A and B are shown apart, each in its own frame.
Chain A
Amino acid sequence: MSDTTLSPRSIPDRLESPLASALKSWEMLLALVAVAIFIFNSLATPYFLNPWSLSDATFNFTERGIIALAMAMVIISGEIDLSVAGILALASTAMGAAAQFGVDVPVLIAIGLAVGVLCGAFNGLLVSGLGLPSIVVTIGTMSLFRGISYIVLGDQAYRGYPSGFSFFGQGYVYWVISFEIVLFLVMAAIFYVLLHRTSFGRSVFAIGNNAMAAQFSGIRVRRVKFVLFCLTGLMAGLAAILLTSRLGSTRPSIAFAWELEVVTIVVLGGVSILGGAGSILGVVIAGFVMGLVTFGLGLLNVPGIVMSIFVGLMLITVIAIPIVARRIKSRR
């Protein structure tokens, strides 16, 4: 205290240790929230602490989480993709249509991924090729992609997927560990490396912070953005495979309004909606938080629509807390 009275500004002797700054980080805060929810859930209902229920809980977010990983990169680059659920619906419809002709599992997967990439490339072309604002472009393509599913399917549904196809959404790798959660963690690792350990990842941050400066420092801004949209499309296609396999049927309303849940996971994960900041670790933890909240509330017989109140409140409070804290700190 006496030091601060001597000099107008107190300059620390040394920077905070890495441990101390890690403890204050967003990811730590989120992890604490996750632990708190975990403890609350296990106290609130006796059915929660059971390996099989915990395994079931992961299905609540793995598919959304996989999309969120790519969405995080798009948002960090300063864009947004609201068409992911539309892409998912279209990819699922394409797979369903192919399955009616008795196509094999590997071909089905190729179709799902290819439709995803194509839709993503279409978005990317409009956004980076023509320089259009991504929020409106993807609002349009969201209706366009899902609309094509509606034209194809109407009020019908595709069933009759080959038997081997059910593994992706319903299979277990070992005991209670599902294929989906393993795939999610593998994708998370890949995206972690891509965003935090490669020059491509650095350029995504650079674009998000200042696209013009990035342009002048030799980053091919438009190409990077195009790749990001393709990547998001690919992940939406992958999620389409998992969800279609899990449900065993395709309706045009599949994954309706998921885009907003995916964005919620990303923002909850500490990614700045304005671009330029965020981490994959945060997104992964946010995925777990969402999964635990919705599953715990489900065990307590809270209807889905009421759950969404919690998710909405959580989104706003988690964003508001650091802002309020910073303001109180600076006022002192």
Chain B
Amino acid sequence: MQALLKHRELILVGAIAVLVGLIALRFPGFIAPRNIVRVFDDTSILMMLALGQMVVILTRCIDLSIAANLALCGMIVAMINAAFPDIPIPALIVVGVACGAALGAVNGLLVWKLDIPSIVVTLGTMTIFRGSIFLLSSGEWVNAHQMSAAFKAFPRTEFLWIPVFSWIAIAVIALFFVLMTRTPLGRSFYAVGVNPTASVYTGIDVGRTRFFAFVVSGIVAGLAGYLWVSRYAVAYVDIAGGFELEVVAACVIGGISIAGGIGTVAGAVLGALFLGVVKNALPVIDVSPFAQMAISGAVIVIAVIFNARAERKTGRIILRKAEASA
């Protein structure tokens, strides 16, 4: 199975390479180092959120509130910056992350302590978070001129030819890699997803593990919220609207099983990158931006079909036979 998963990620790498190659044939500018950095930079937030979502999906849950969480944390950070421009950026990052973690903990507690299915909980908190942004900002925008220059400049500052924004994404990917492959918590995320009952017998608290999964996803959303408002230099109620589904899509393309327990950090990152390349390539090859939604929809459907064929081999064969004969 390990070999099969490796295989999968190689296929994704190949798909991305072919895609980039085809575009480069017509438009060599697309593979100029500057542009590749730009595409990566553009996809950073999607990659980070996909990692957070991956952890939640691994435990057989789903976090539909991840984009609303991002928007609320982003608004809080932007309003603090607009009101007190002297607060240093690291403090703002801490605020964003703390807010995200707190909101994630709300989701996690509802799932853990009340046993409400995560899709219901996060459907509810998604609308509550969005509404809270409106209450907080009274529907006003925080515009670029209200933010301090340092706040806007930070993610765009370049370090070794790459913007700080991308460096943060790279650091997050590295942290996730360590978390998922080198810590007991990372292992327990997988264990809970593969077999919750067996996890209980091995001494893993399923509810608590799910709680931590939501906190992790919240932390990422909070960080992404800060990054979003500082990079795009604007905060309003609807930022990242509908982004939660794009994040789930990135996970699915990356081979993370919606049934839990299967998925890797590399898969999530590659899934996000694939969507990012498609999104950035469309204007280059002169496809109307209006076609983007249909294309990403088609990509998701194809990816699901592809995933299922990879997963089916590991499934129980008895059932298939019974169904075939029925």
Check A141–B124 contact: CB distance below 8 A.
Answer: no
Contacting residue for A133 out of B64, B259, B297, B326, CB 8 A: B259
Q: Are B292 and A132 neighbours in the complex by a CB distance under 8 Å?
A: no
Minimum Cβ distance to chain B for residue A137 (Å) = 6
Return A119 CB to nearest CB of chain B, in Å: 12
Q: Which residues of A contact B110 (CB under 8 A)?
A: 316, 320
B114 touches A216 (CB 8 A): no
| A230 in contact (CB, < 8 A) | no
Bound form: Cα–Cα A144–B298 in Å: 6
Q: Does B22 contact A (CB under 8 A)?
A: no
Residue tally, chain B, CB below 8 Å to A: 52
Contact with B along A245-260 (1 / 0, CB 8 A): 0000000100001001
Closest to A154 in B: B290
A220 to B245, CA, bound (A): 32
Cross-interface CB contact of A139 among B121, B248, B295, B326, cutoff 8 Å: B248
Q: Are A144 and B134 in contact (CB-based, < 8 A)? A: no
Neighbouring B residues of A309 by C-beta, 8 Å: 127-128, 131-132, 135
B112 to chain A, nearest CB (A): 12
Is the pair B294, A144 in contact by a Cβ cutoff of 8 Å? yes
A179 at the B interface (CB under 8 A): no
Closest to A144 in B: B297
CB contacts (< 8 Å) of A153 on chain B: these are: 290
Cβ A132 vs Cβ B305 within 8 A: yes
Residues of chain B lying within 8 A (CB to CB) of residue A143: 245, 249, 293-294, 296-297, 300
Interface size on A, residues (CB 8 A): 54
Q: In chain B between 8 and 66, which residues have their CB closer than 8 angstroms to a CB of chain A?
A: 62, 64
CB-CB contacts below 8 Å: B274-292 with A? 288, 290-292
- CB within 8 Å for A130 and B130 given contacts A139-B249, A143-B293: no
Chain B residues with Cβ below 8 Å from A139 are: 245, 248-249, 252, 300
A305 and B237 in contact (CB under 8 A), knowing A144-B298, A148-B294, A222-B323? yes
Query: By the criterion CB–CB under 8 Å, are A154 and B288 in contact?
Result: yes
Q: Is residue A32 contacting chain B, with contact meaning CB distance below 8 A?
A: no
Does the CB pair A305–B305 fall under 8 Å?
no
User: Which secondary structure characterizes the binding site on chain A?
Assistant: helix
Chain A residues within 8 Å of B303, by CB: 140
- Per-residue CB proximity of A301-317 to B under 8 Å, as 1/0? 00101111101110110
User: Quick one: which of A126, A155, A222, A323 contacts B301, CB cutoff 8 A?
Assistant: A126
**A144-B298, A212-B319, A306-B134 known; A150-B290 Cβ under 8 A:** yes
Contacts of B296 in A (CB 8 A): 143, 147
A109 at the interface (CB under 8 A from B): no
Interface presence of A173 (CB below 8 A): no
Q: Min CB distance, A136 to chain B, in Å?
A: 5
Interface membership of A45, Cβ < 8 A: no
* B291 and A147 form a contact (CB under 8 A): yes
Partner of A267, one of B120, B292, B326: B120
Q: Chain B contacts of A312 at CB under 8 A?
A: 123-128, 131
Out of B131, B245, B298, B323, name the residue touching A306 (CB < 8 Å): B131
Cβ of A35 < 8 Å from any Cβ of B?
A: no
* Cβ-based interface call for A49 (8 A): no
Does A64 sit within 8 A of B, measured CB to CB? no
Evaluate whether A305 and B293 lie within 8 angstroms (CB atoms) in the complex, with A137-B304, A315-B120 already known: no
Please determine whether B116 and A320 come into contact, CB atoms closer than 8 angstroms: yes
| CB-defined contacts of B299 to chain A, threshold 8 Å | 140
Q: With A130-B308, A137-B304, A324-B114 known to touch, is A146 a contact of B293 (CB < 8 Å)?
A: yes
B293's nearest neighbour on chain A, judged by CB, is A147
Residues of B within 8 A of A155 (CB): 290
What are the residues of chain B within 8 A of A220 when measuring CB–CB?
Answer: 326
Known: A136-B300, A312-B126, A319-B116. A150 touches B291 (CB 8 A): yes
Distance between Cα atoms of A137 and B139 in the complex (Å): 34
| With A126-B304, A308-B131, A323-B116 already in contact, 4 other A-B pairs whose C-beta atoms are closer than 8 Å | A136-B304, A144-B298, A260-B127, A315-B120
24 A–B pairs (Cβ distance < 8 Å), ordered by A? A133-B258, A133-B308, A142-B297, A143-B294, A143-B296, A144-B297, A146-B294, A150-B294, A151-B290, A212-B322, A252-B290, A260-B126, A263-B123, A307-B131, A308-B127, A309-B135, A312-B123, A312-B128, A312-B131, A315-B123, A316-B120, A320-B110, A320-B116, A323-B114
